[in-house]
Chains A and B, each alone.
Chain A
Amino acid sequence: DTAVSQTPKYLVTQMGNDKSIKCEQNLGHDTMYWYKQDSKKFLKIMFSYNNKELIINETVPNRFSPKSPDKAHLNLHINSLELGDSAVYFCASSQESLNYGYTFGSGTRLTVV
């Protein structure tokens, strides 16, 4: 049973297109996150939702819009894709508690050409 699943695993698209990445967790966690990992493996938080409410919204272009229809799902929609958006995007989930670690999905490698 996959705990945090993301789709698609790979996404190749042209500049200017709009795309979505989906994430689902079956762990019963109340908080979900999107992270962006660049080519040097640096991880930057983008968004966090707790029970469908946005609680962290870092400095991210407003072309990126998260949506959480319920606490088990957190999707990421990206408008007008740019070359600089190419990266690996990770979804993660956790309980909203200092002592819990995150469970990550396997990532979506986005390539904008």
Chain B
Amino acid sequence: GNSVTQMEGPVTLSEEAFLTINCTYTATGYPSLFWYVQYPGEGLQLLLKATKADDKGSNKGFEATYRKETTSFHLEKGSVQVSDSAVYFCALRMGGGFKTIFGAGTRLFVKA
């Protein structure tokens, strides 16, 4: 079946450090891939997306590239801020009802 696997958290970084959160997927067919962010006490917000192989999604300094050969969509940011502390979810969306499947989420703590 279709699934998303994210690295387990929490991830703790100092401000201005480089961030990578790994995400791999299993899918029959060609999904679109997404990263969502959830700040404490809030709903999920779409952070970025990529709809086909080799596409790069980017937003607010975050970026991720859709790698079909490694079935991966790793999230990166060059210099994190305290305000980036949140839970990050990798997700894929498939045809046939267009259901979105979410990874388990990775909590990020950024220390000043």
Shortest beta-carbon distance, B75 to chain A, in Å? 15
Chain B: interface residue total (CB-CB under 8 A) = 26
The closest CB in chain A to the CB of B34 belongs to A101
Q: Are B49 and A97 in contact (CB under 8 A)?
A: no
Shortest beta-carbon distance, A29 to chain B, in Å? 12
Q: Are A98 and B99 in contact (CB under 8 A)?
A: no
Contacts of A104 in B (CB 8 A): 43-45
Q: Are A90 and B43 in contact (CB under 8 A)?
A: yes
- With contacts A41-B87, A41-B104, A101-B49 known, is A96 near B98, CB below 8 A? yes
A56 sits at the interface (CB 8 A) = yes
Q: How many A-B residue pairs have CB under 8 A?
A: 58
Chain A: interface residue total (CB-CB under 8 A) = 25
Q: Are A41 and B99 in contact (CB under 8 A)?
A: no
- With contacts A45-B99, A48-B97 known, is A99 near B42, CB below 8 A? no
Among the listed A98, A102, A105, which residue makes an inter-chain contact with B94, where contact means beta carbons less than 8 Å apart?
A98
Q: Are B99 and A99 in contact (CB under 8 A)?
A: no
Residue picked from A42, A48, A97, A100, most chain B C-beta under 10 Å? A100
Shortest beta-carbon distance, B93 to chain A, in Å? 6
| Other 14 A-B pairs with CB < 8 A, given A56-B97, A102-B44, A104-B44 | A40-B104, A41-B105, A42-B105, A43-B89, A43-B102, A48-B99, A55-B97, A92-B43, A92-B44, A94-B98, A98-B51, A101-B46, A106-B42, A106-B43
